[in-house]
């Protein structure tokens, strides 16, 4: 494999892993809100902390995925722009 193939596979693995974490977090929040019995007036402190952690993880994953995809697409666009054969 060439260096470009290895880099592409590494970036794909990272993006897929972060996407999987994001999907699991979303389903955890949905499950926690829909299927766990809560007090009607307020949410318990442990549930509030759990949801806060999941929200932070989701924001981190979204930012990381955006940064990784943006970096890869920017480098690809710059390579195509500098390539004299196109």
Q: Which long-range contacts (CB under 8 A, 24 or more apart) does 56-63 make?
A: 57/21, 57/25, 58/22, 58/25, 58/26, 58/29, 61/18, 61/19, 61/21, 61/22, 61/25, 62/22
Dist CA 42 CA 79 (whole Å): 54
Number of compact structural domains in the chain: 1
At 35 the pLDDT is 76
pTM: 0.58
Contact assessment for residue 25 and residue 7, using Cβ atoms and an 8 Å cutoff:
no
Query: For residue range 22-59, what is the model confidence (pLDDT) as tens digits?
Result: 888 888 877 877 776 766 677 777 777 877 887 888 88
The domain containing residue 9 runs over which residues?
3-82
Q: What is the mean pLDDT of residues 6-23?
A: 84
């Amino acid at each position: 494999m060439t260096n470009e193939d290895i880099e592409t596979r590494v970036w794909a693995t990272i993006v897929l892993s972060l996407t999987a974490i994001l999907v699991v977090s979303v389903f955890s929040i949905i499950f926690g809100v829909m299927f766990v019995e809560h007090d009607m007036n307020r949410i318990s402190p442990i549930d509030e902390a759990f949801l806060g952690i999941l929200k932070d993880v989701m924001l981190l994953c979204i930012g990381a995925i955006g940064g990784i995809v943006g970096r890869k697409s920017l480098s690809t666009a710059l390579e195509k722009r500098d390539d004299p054969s196109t």
